[in-house]
Copies of this chain bind each other. A is one copy, B any other.
Amino acid sequence: MSSQRATAFVPGHVTAFFSAHPADDPSVAGSRGAGVTLTDGVTVTVSAGDASDAASDETGSRTIDGRTGSVGAAEDVLAELDAVAADVAVETDLPIGAGFGVSGAAALGAALAANAALDRGRSENELVGIAHAAEVGRGTGLGDVVAQARGGAPIRLEPGAPGVGELDAVPAAARVEYVTFGELSTEAVLGGDTAALSAAGEDALDRLRADPRLPTVMAAARRFAREADLLVSEVADALDAVDEAGGEAAMAMLGRTVFALGSGLSDAGYEPEVCRIDAAGARLVEQ
């Protein structure tokens, strides 16, 4: 029952704070922390071309927003699903490399769409696990994929893929605004000494578990960014401006990005992108 073509949507995810938990087994590796998934996200369409049977070793076409290009973690997912020969189109309005989990979203979207288009018969947990392992393997993220699979405002209680990790969430519906000042290398931060960062992340998680509300996510995130010494000047300025305007904002980990609840950034004089918390999490939208 192969539909030959399928499209998946995966929400963007801004991490508010985290602790890093590397491990040799990528399904065990991951992060604890919390964040917010966004109705702005990544759409991945997988089409089985003529050469798309599992035996083919030709690589299908790859585009990002219509131009030739591919995402490493998504390529690893396609290889795992014997789907390298399929054509894959990634589309997103989100900035890349700015802390929105675009890499993880592309990997998870590729997993869901390839499974449906090529009728690979994997379960949702298996597909999330494959995308999580690919993302961790590439060093481009540690917890976006499991958060994006759930949607809402996920809390990552225990690191790892489905069946290993454990999730909860802050029950919340809200408008979210964001501005981006440029890229920050996830690989560079995660590849360095993460001890101080992880200690700050564990403290933040304790505070959120004691009070799972959205304002607590934002306050814990601001304190985490200071304690982990990750604030950059444009971000610090924007956080101050939103605070002075009476709003709630935080830095997206890891990017030169600020996100705010409600109209926090608009009220502070910025011209932000506007979306909402995504309630659904990653899903097939067409098959």
Q: Which residues of A contact B (CB under 8 A)?
A: 1, 112, 115-116, 119, 121-127, 151-152, 155, 162-163, 166, 168-174, 209, 211-213, 215, 279-281, 283-287
Q: A121-B213, A173-B285, A281-B281 are in contact. List 17 more A-B contacts (CB 8 A).
A: A1-B215, A112-B171, A116-B172, A121-B211, A123-B168, A123-B171, A124-B168, A124-B169, A127-B171, A151-B280, A163-B166, A172-B284, A173-B286, A173-B287, A279-B281, A279-B283, A279-B284
Task: Tell me, rounded to whole Å, the shortest Cβ–Cβ distance linking A256 to chain B.
Answer: 29
Interchain CA distance A209-B188 in the complex, whole Å = 40
The closest CB in chain B to the CB of A209 belongs to B123
A170 & B124 in contact (Cβ 8 Å cutoff): yes
Contact of A212 among B123, B171, B173, B211 (CB under 8 A): B123
Determine the chain B residues whose CB is within 8 A of the CB of A127 once the complex forms: 171
This chain: how many copies in the complex?
Answer: 2
Are B173 and A284 in contact, with the CB atoms below 8 A?
Answer: yes
A123 with B279: CB separation less than 8 A: no
The 26 listed contacts between A and B (C-beta, < 8 Å) are A112-B171, A115-B171, A116-B171, A116-B172, A119-B213, A121-B213, A122-B212, A123-B155, A123-B168, A123-B169, A123-B170, A124-B152, A125-B169, A126-B168, A126-B212, A152-B283, A163-B166, A172-B287, A173-B283, A173-B284, A173-B286, A173-B287, A174-B287, A279-B281, A279-B284, A279-B285
Shortest distance in angstroms between A55's beta carbon and chain B's nearest beta carbon?
A: 22
Q: How many Å lie between the Cα of A125 and that of B155 in the bound state?
A: 10
Q: Are A168 and B287 interface neighbours, CB within 8 A?
A: no
- With both chains docked as a complex, state the minimum distance between the C-beta of A50 and any C-beta of chain B, in angstroms: 24
Contact B171 A284 (CB under 8 A): yes
On chain B, the residues within 8 Å of A155 by CB distance are 123
